[in-house]
Chains A and B, each alone.
Chain A
Amino acid sequence: MKKRLAVAVLAMMLVATACGGDDDGGDAAPDTQSTTPTTAAPARGGTLVVAIGSDPGSLNPAVTSNGGVHTASEMMFNGLVGWSADGKPTPELAQSWTIDGNGTAYNFKLRTGVKWHDGRDFTSDDVKFTFERALLKLHSRTQASMGSAQLTLEAPNPTTVIFRFPNPYAPLLQQLNVTEAPIIPKHIYEGCTDLATVAGCPANKTPVGTGPFKLDSYTIQEIKLVRNPTYFRAGLPYLDGMVQRVIPDVGTQILALENKEIDWVGSVPGPDIERVKKNSAIGTSTAPRGSGGGNCTTTMIFNMKPPAGRTPFFADVRTRQAVWHAIDRNQAFRTVSFSQGKVSAAPINSGITFAAASGLTLPSFDVNRAKTLLDQVGWKDEGGARVARGVANVTDGTKFEIDWHGFAGDQTTYGEQLRGQLSAVGITMQVKTEDNATFSAAVFNRRDFDTGVASYCNGDDPEIGFRRQVDSRQISTTAFSNGAGYSNPDVDRLLDTASREPDPAKRTPLYRELQEQLVKDLPYVWLTESAGLRAFNAGCTGFNHQNTGLFAEAASCKK
């Protein structure tokens, strides 16, 4: 499903660019297109109880990219452009759009008659305000992407918004959904002294949106939402309400689902998958998305640019190849990912179909080849351990002893497995599992590491979450940037050319060339592509598993 998505999006853009018409079919299709088709008429009423992992604190998704806030608040908002289950940009708050100047100007015609939860009209002023005051300043992904691309907005009349960029900007339509760019009402938020906090903006705890549900109450243990009777998609939602219950422990979430206390869990932990799938009272669905973004690849980082005083173990490409050959990625897929998702076949996540290369030759699991390569570099086997004998820039006698950083939890298993596999070729690895903050500080901030494992979420375009991994200008202290410290001017040039190319058909070969280069250089080990398993009360249907934001817009539960 996800495979067709990006292609269709870009095809859509092409069509829009080519015809330049004012209406690309926008509202003609029924708005329930984004839902799982059901044969019988959906039941009305009822309350869906959803588990969320943390108390979000605030319910304004436009001022942060924090996953907790987004999960808890997106059902109350909308983006300009949504996603259909069959992978097309669908009209949401924008009814239609045209793209001019090869992607330097996007002209959106807004849906008319849309009301905020307080009854006021939604207009182009709200869109301009949302981007200028909130998204481009406070939403980290949107700030980093569209902000860096120097987006400016114009609202010439209440139903028109024009996005302008100085250079062609290809991925805009992929970034306008409720997760990347939720729209908030100007009249509620313009008086805030600090939009980012509840203290400076009390409305952040009593949000007003356009979405299918509106806020009923927000207490320390749950957020209650009720049906928005004036939602612009007539007849939706079917549910009377939603309760988002804060349950920090995922094990407790699953037990509560099995005990019928709740109806929906966003991600089933690996060890519980088999049991949950066997339970006939529980339905499941695989989805490549989470609130942190979609299309995530679990990736091992080689520190190619360690700070002074640290041994540059991975400066030589043959050493990185050796590690690739020493690692059995299939084993990790079975035992760590519990066969959810797939083994990576290219640097770019296969969910971005137009960009992910196919048929690349990645180093296979081949212990003997790994040993030969290490010998060639000068890492000699001395009694089962590798010792430097003539390795460039490494003092003779240095032992091949490296550290490995990863998140505590599932990734600990990864670390233990890699440790075993590397010891088979004479490399000693120390596993250090840490929480997110400690990990980011060691790996990205201080670069005080040899190897690490991180999940890079690619999003729906390489520009969103992939570029940062390999762009030499993103070697920085920022978390989840170019952790390898990899620098190749050809790669930078290809990234730039592809990002300014509005024709998706022309982007594909550029990204292929880019990935062929990356497979030669191997700055990372692309291990596995992750997929979350959603689990829900089998009496409930109509979820949109591709869209985390509005997943329950058309859900209904048997009474």
Chain B
Amino acid sequence: MDRRYVIRRLLQVLPAVASILIVTFVVVHAAPGDPVVAVAGESGDEAYYAFMREKFGLDRPALQQFLTYAGNVLRGDLGVSFVLGQDVSTLIAERVPATLLLMGTALLVSTVGGVVVGALAARRPFGPFDLSVSTGALIGYALPSFWLAQLAMLTIAFRTGWFPIQGMTDARANYTGLAHWGDVAHHLVLPALVLAASEVALISRIARTGILAEMDSDYIRVAQAKGLSASGALFHHALRNALLPVVTVVGTRIGFLFSGAVLVETVFGWPGLGRLVLSAAQTRDHPVLLGMVLVVAFTLVLANLITDLVYSRVDPRIRYR
């Protein structure tokens, strides 16, 4: 791995993030609605709104507002939320662990689950298992996550009582240590599964197609000629090569996973970044919205870079210059 390549890719992040920031700034400011109304409530008078506008710098020309904001960002200052009154960086940092836990679990479940299901389906293409997986994947991918979330809540959590409806912990219990993490895991199951559902569907399809393509190649035929069973050839040889498109998809799906997390967190009352971003959008909380876009954009660019690096691990023939 060439270190120069990584540095060059990291430098490419800057113009990408800068242009995303400009576009978001324009969109956020062009959106109808006044953040001051969200802060002031409905009963302020003109003088009060003018005072708040001045306080937030919203009375100044947009270009000047942007330059001030960009300057602050360069100094590492994401500003203060209009509505919550707290530093945006603090608001985000406090919520990163909850979202990472949710998205990480969903990513793990969907990747491992998707590959396993895809591989099992590829063992007997168009057999009963493959057909039911294909149908299930189609449905799973088509269901909107917020609807699936409500469905899971009503049927699984409410009817069976196996899982809690909302939150990250039990509101009445004061668990510590291991019991606390057990409680969190118990609360995590449903939201993570709901978030993972459409990803499992997608990844199982990609893995199945990839494995089938590999199973058709000469080296598999050679391996089988040497006496390896079909399953052995699949799991020992074809799977690793079929993982390449899976890695690509997983890398590019991080963004979709986050947008899913916005909805899933809101429905399940999971205290993460998704919920923060939704309320910021509703109240036109510019600093929080811009800060979140910055963080998400940065994460996505980084995720793409990591995807590229993982490629070369999976397939040693790939080299970067």
Contacts and interface: CB of A to CB of B under 8 A. Distances in A.
B32 A249 contact: no
A59 B39 CA distance: 14
Interface stretch (A25-33, A473-481, A541-549): A473-481
A243 to B, nearest CB: 5
A141 B98 CA distance: 36
Contacts of B282: 435-437
Interface of B: 31-35, 37-49, 51, 55, 80-81, 83-87, 94-95, 98, 150, 153-154, 157-158, 161, 164-172, 266-269, 271-272, 275-276, 278-279, 282-284
A200 B31 CA distance: 28
Interface residues of A, number: 62
A445 to B, nearest CB: 7
Minimum-distance CB pairs A-B, first 8: A437-B33, A57-B84, A140-B44, A197-B85, A221-B271, A65-B41, A480-B42, A220-B271
A201 to B, nearest CB: 8
Given A58-B85, A252-B166, A259-B157, A441 B33 contact: yes
10 contacts: A49-B171, A55-B276, A65-B40, A66-B83, A141-B44, A197-B85, A199-B85, A262-B171, A442-B32, A479-B42
A222 interface: yes
B269 A252 contact: yes
A386 to B, nearest CB: 30
Contacts of B55: 196
Contact of A259 (B42, B87, B158, B272): B158
Interface string A465-486: 1001000000011111000000
Given A57-B81, A64-B39, 11 more contacts: A57-B84, A58-B85, A66-B39, A140-B41, A143-B44, A143-B47, A199-B87, A222-B167, A249-B267, A256-B167, A477-B49
A241 B205 CA distance: 51
Contacts of A442: 32
A197 B167 contact: no
A515 B108 CA distance: 65
A440 B34 contact: yes
A196 B55 CA distance: 10
Kindly name the residue among A252, A253, A442, A465 whose own CB sees the greatest number of chain B CB atoms within 10 A: A252
A286 interface: no
Interface string A436-451: 1110111001000000
Interface in A180-212: 196-200, 204-205
A249 B44 contact: no
B46 A221 contact: no
Given A245-B171, A246-B271, A261-B166, A196 B85 contact: yes
A198 B165 CA distance: 31
Nearest to B265: A248
Contacts of A58: 84-86
Nearest to B35: A437
Given A249-B266, A437-B32, A55 B43 contact: no
Nearest to B266: A248
A358 B267 CA distance: 44
